[in-house]
């Protein structure tokens, strides 16, 4: 069976990562969460005083620091998926904090940051056999990917999913705060000049507002099986 690149783009909290992880597990592919990579850079900026409480970024210093920001993924048997490491430190939980979510759209809009991470993502996927999710995978990172999927869901449903995820992790957040964060992120993703969120012309649309992971897997497995045989 031949290996392919599966590019999954879509809105924040539309279930891209869970979907991509399930696909990677079923087909023995490598899962690369590109959103986590942007969160890692945001976390680095916050930890090193390169972004303040108002969202102002020391862009020049951050750009100069990019070569020092080492992002890697390692398989974690406890979660049966890959964990993300920043300069050797596992940061799965830290990058999901609301404060990181509030600032990631600012960092991801910096052209030099996107250029740096896109180069890393292309290197990670050069051997194929990867499932990569993000905002511009099918349009910028891998425009020639064999399978492109664009995911969406109603904003209210996405907000509730994110709220439940954080609540189960013991985080005290309000649904209103999460909803506003998602709407703000949507607007930033769509309107930014570099790598904006948009559906590739040859991408398949998947609205999973009312679909279970099992139903989504049935839908995508049919597409993948036709491509790899």
Ordered DSSP codes for 2-37: ---EEEEEE-TTSSHHHHHHHHHHHHTPEEEEHHHH
Tokens of 23: 């696909």
CB-count exposure of residue 104 (10 Å: 0-12, 13-18, 19+)? buried
Q: Report whether 137 contacts 12 (CB < 8 A).
A: no
Residue-wise pLDDT tens digits, 123-176? 999 999 999 999 999 999 999 999 999 999 999 999 999 999 889 988 888 999
Q: State how far the Cα of 91 lies from the Cα of 72, in Å rounded to an integer.
A: 11
Q: Tell me the backbone φ, ψ of residue 57, rounded to 5 degrees.
A: -110, 140
Beta bridge partners of 81: 76
So what's the pLDDT on residue 165? 87
Give the angle subtended at the CA of 184 by the CAs of 157 and 113, to the nearest 5°. 115
**Could you give all domains of the chain from N- to C-terminal order, each with its CATH number?**
5-228 (3.40.50.300)
pLDDT of residue 14: 94
**38-67 pLDDT, tens digit each:** 999 999 999 999 999 888 999 999 999 999
């Amino acid at each position: 069976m031949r290996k392919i690149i599966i590019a999954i783009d879509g809105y924040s909290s539309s279930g891209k990562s869970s979907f991509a992880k399930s696909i990677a597990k079923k087909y023995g592919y490598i899962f690369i969460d590109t959103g986590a990579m942007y969160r890692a850079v945001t976390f680095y900026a916050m930890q090193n005083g390169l972004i303040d409480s108002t969202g102002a970024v020391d862009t020049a210093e951050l750009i100069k620091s990019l070569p020092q920001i080492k992002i890697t993924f390692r398989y974690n048997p406890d979660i049966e998926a890959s964990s993300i490491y920043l300069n050797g430190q596992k940061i799965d939980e830290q990058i999901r904090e609301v404060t990181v979510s509030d600032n990631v759209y600012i960092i991801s809009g910096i052209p030099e940051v996107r250029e740096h991470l896109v180069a890393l993502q292309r290197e990670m996927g050069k051997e194929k056999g990867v499932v990569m999710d993000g905002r511009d995978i099918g349009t910028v990172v891998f425009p020639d990917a064999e399978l492109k999927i664009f995911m969406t869901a109603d904003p209210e449903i996405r907000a509730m999913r994110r709220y439940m995820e954080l609540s189960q992790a013991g985080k005290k957040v309000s649904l209103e705060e999460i909803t506003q964060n998602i709407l703000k992120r949507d607007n930033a993703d769509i309107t930014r000049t570099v790598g904006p969120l948009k559906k590739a012309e040859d991408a398949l649309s998947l609205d999973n507002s009312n679909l279970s992971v099992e139903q989504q897997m049935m839908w995508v497995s049919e597409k993948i099986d036709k491509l790899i045989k």
